[in-house]
């Protein structure tokens, strides 16, 4: 799905973000003054998955019985079905389900369609249904819970690609969404390149620190790293890159 007005991000940015943790990204965003980018209460349906992609947003309101009947889902203009059927490779569908856990916002058939379209994943601050089937599909999927009801029991799909709140995080179309086994974080698009590089550097430093702590070193002077430790790290990193 095309999101108007957005310049493409570098492929290297996505590759770097695939290799760093959500926790590391949270630290880098904190250093930039952003403390509200990690979703609370949203976790993976399938353990040990990784997800990186550009946000396509979907906003729900409360259901209305005369509008939300199963047969109405067949309309090509139904926002939920339209978003799923037109999503592009590398995009993540992020839904504002109002935190409502009385229904599933998506099931295994819709997850299968997302995967066939090349989507990187799905995020909701509501629930999903058919969770055993979603695990079999293998699409990275993050939610607050599971519920057997279909979405029209409690929700009415309203808009695609508008600013939304998902798990108390503001998500704009085109923001970069990253998920791992711990949860989901949203990077403002204009900061994605910077955060990807700084997160890579942080994880290299932490790998070095883990070796030193694992070898019996005290925390003091090592974590956080003092000047001597950083000089040792730079020599260690230079040797690794040469080798």
- Joined together, the tokens standing for residue 143 give 């939610």
Q: Which residues in 36-57 are b (16+ Cβ under 10 Å) and which e?
A: ebbbeebebbbeebbbbbbbbb
pLDDT at 4: 86
What tens-digit pLDDT sequence spans the chain (243 residues)? 888 889 999 999 999 999 999 999 999 999 999 999 999 999 999 988 999 999 999 999 999 988 888 877 778 889 999 999 999 999 999 999 999 999 999 999 999 999 999 999 999 999 999 999 999 999 999 999 999 999 999 999 999 999 999 999 999 999 999 999 999 999 999 999 999 999 999 999 999 999 999 999 999 999 999 999 999 999 999 988 886
Give the model's pLDDT for residue 183. 97
pLDDT of amino acid 27? 98
Closest C-alpha among 175, 169, 172 to residue 189: 175
Tell me, what's the pLDDT at 72? 74
How many CB atoms are located within 10 Å of the residue 59 CB? 22
In CATH, what class is 11-194?
alpha beta
C-alpha closest to that of 54 among 106, 29, 17: 17
- CB contact at 8 A, 167 and 101: no
Q: Which residues pair with 62 in a beta bridge?
A: 155
According to the model, what pLDDT value does residue 48 have? 87
User: Domain boundaries in the chain?
Assistant: 11-194
Q: How many CB atoms lie within 10 A of CB 90?
A: 14
Can you give the pLDDT at residue 117? Answer: 98
Residue for token pair 């492929």: 11
CA angle 43, 194, 227 (to 5 degrees): 100
């Amino acid at each position: 799905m095309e999101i108007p007005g957005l310049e493409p991000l570098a492929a290297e940015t996505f590759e770097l973000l695939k290799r760093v943790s959500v926790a590391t990204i949270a630290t880098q965003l904190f250093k930039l003054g952003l403390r509200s980018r990690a979703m609370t209460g949203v976790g993976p349906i399938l353990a040990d998955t990784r997800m990186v992609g550009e946000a396509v947003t979907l906003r729900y309101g409360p259901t209305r019985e005369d509008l939300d009947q199963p047969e109405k889902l067949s309309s090509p203009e139904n926002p939920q079905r339209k978003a799923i059927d037109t999503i592009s490779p590398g995009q993540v569908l992020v839904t504002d389900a109002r935190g409502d856990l009385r229904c599933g916002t998506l099931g295994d058939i819709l997850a299968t369609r997302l995967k066939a379209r090349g989507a990187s994943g799905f995020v909701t601050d509501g629930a999903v249904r058919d969770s055993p089937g979603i695990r079999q599909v293998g699409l990275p999927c993050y939610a607050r819970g599971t519920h057997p009801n279909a979405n029209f029991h409690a929700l009415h799909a309203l808009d695609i690609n508008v600013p939304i709140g998902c798990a108390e995080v503001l998500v704009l179309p085109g923001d970069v969404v990253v998920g791992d086994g711990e949860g989901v974080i949203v990077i403002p698009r204009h900061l994605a390149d910077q955060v990807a590089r700084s997160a890579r550097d942080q994880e290299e430093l932490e790998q070095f620190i883990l070796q030193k702590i694992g070898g019996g070193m005290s925390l003091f002077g090592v974590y956080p790293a003092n000047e001597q430790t950083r000089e040792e790290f730079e020599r260690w990193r230079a040797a690794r890159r040469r080798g």
